[in-house]
Amino acid sequence: MPRGFFITFEGLDGSGKSTQMRLLARTLQASGREVTTTRQPGGTELGDQIRAVLLNSSTQNVAPLAEMALMFADRAQSIQAIIEPALAEGKIVLCDRFTDSTEAYQGGGRGLGSERVLALHRTVCDDLWPDLTILLLPSLDASLARARRRNGRQLAQGTDENRFEGEGRAFYERVFLKYQEIGARENLRVVTIAEDASVETIEKRIVEIVEERLTRKTSS
Ligand code: TMP
């Protein structure tokens, strides 16, 4: 059985990545591919508990290194329970956030630096990297405005995953810059989509990129 294909979606809160991942999953399934979708933090029983603790705004005074370690604890569980088994079965795995998020948010946003994140990744994730990463990076203002509208809706529904969204603009600027740096450094794996186009335009672009990469994989 040939190994599957691992795709991650990255971007700021409000970048539209979760919507795009859902649309891509639907398109791939409609074309007869077997697809597993998951997200980080979360997706496993342990991961959902880690997510609840890390994202709830009532969780306060979290040391940046503790935050990073918990993100990796979640990821290790997700790799063992979801990602590796699905790849071994030849499936396409779509994951909403992966280690690039830790590099951008904890490495950039919290100021821990890239090296510490990448070192932990080598140890805890056995240096597993996606075959392709779609990085949605519209302007900081567009993302922040969308994230704020979503938080308003969430609070009205009684859910609270707002701990990160409570951070100020300077934090998100650091996250944004680190994402740009990752996109430039990892330009074979990461495709950066920076324009703030319609959902349909971005969707079409992503399908083209993914189809091209999947064809390249089967012919290699
Ligand atoms: P999301 O599921 O809406 O994308 O939210 C997850 C939040 O967690 C988001 O604010 C980014 C943050 N996060 C990190 O800070 N580091 C990480 O490694 C991951 C996976 C997420």
Would you state the pLDDT for residue 153? 66
Q: Where are the domains of the chain?
A: 5-219
Select from 12, 102, 164, 172 the residue to mutate for testing ligand 1; criterion: most ligand atoms less than 8 Å from CB: 164
| Torsion, Cα of 40, 84, 135, 96 (10° steps) | -30
Residue with the two structure tokens 């932990």: 120
Which CATH number describes the domain made up of 5-219?
Answer: 3.40.50.300
Would you state the pLDDT for residue 155? 64
Give residue 126's pLDDT band: very low, low, confident or very high (50, 70, 90): very high
Residue 14 pLDDT exceeds 90: no
| pTM for this entry | 0.96
The tokens describing 79, both together, are 């790799």
Tell me if 8 CB under 6 Å of ligand 1: no
**147 near 166, Cβ under 8 Å?**
no
CA distance 168 to 152: 16
Select from 101, 162, 163 the residue to mutate for testing ligand 1; criterion: most ligand atoms less than 8 Å from CB: 101
Give residue 144's pLDDT band: very low, low, confident or very high (50, 70, 90): confident
Between helix 199-219 and helix 17-30 the angle, nearest 10°, is 50
Give me the mean pLDDT over the 49-62 stretch. Answer: 94
Distance 200 CA to ligand 1 centre (A): 24
Tell me if 36 CB under 6 Å of ligand 1: no
Tell me if 110 CB under 6 Å of ligand 1: no
Q: Residue-wise over 49-70: b if at least 16 C-beta within 10 A, else e?
A: ebbeebbeeeeeeeeeeebbeb
Residue 55 pLDDT exceeds 80: yes
Residue 217 pLDDT exceeds 90: no
Percent of the chain with pLDDT over 90: 83
Give me the mean pLDDT over the 22-26 stretch. Answer: 98
Would you state the pLDDT for residue 57? 87
What tens digit of pLDDT does each residue of 153-205 get?
A: 666 676 778 888 888 999 999 999 999 999 999 999 999 999 999 999 999 99
Specify the amino acid at residue 5: F
Residues 6+ apart with CB under 8 A from 170: none
Give residue 76's pLDDT band: very low, low, confident or very high (50, 70, 90): very high
What tens digit of pLDDT does each residue of 103-112 get?
A: 999 999 999 9
Residue 63 pLDDT exceeds 70: yes
Would you state the pLDDT for residue 148? 77
Closest CA to 99 of 192, 220, 186: 186
Tell me if 101 CB under 6 Å of ligand 1: yes
Distance 150 CA to ligand 1 centre (A): 15
Select from 9, 13, 78, 167 the residue to mutate for testing ligand 1; criterion: most ligand atoms less than 8 Å from CB: 13
CA distance 13 to 31: 29
Distance 215 CA to ligand 1 centre (A): 31
CA distance 145 to 200: 20
Distance 175 CA to ligand 1 centre (A): 11
Would you state the pLDDT for residue 7? 98
3-state secondary structure 154-179: HHHCCCCCCCCCCCCHHHHHHHHHHH
Give me the mean pLDDT over the 26-50 stretch. Answer: 98
Mean confidence (pLDDT) of the chain: 94
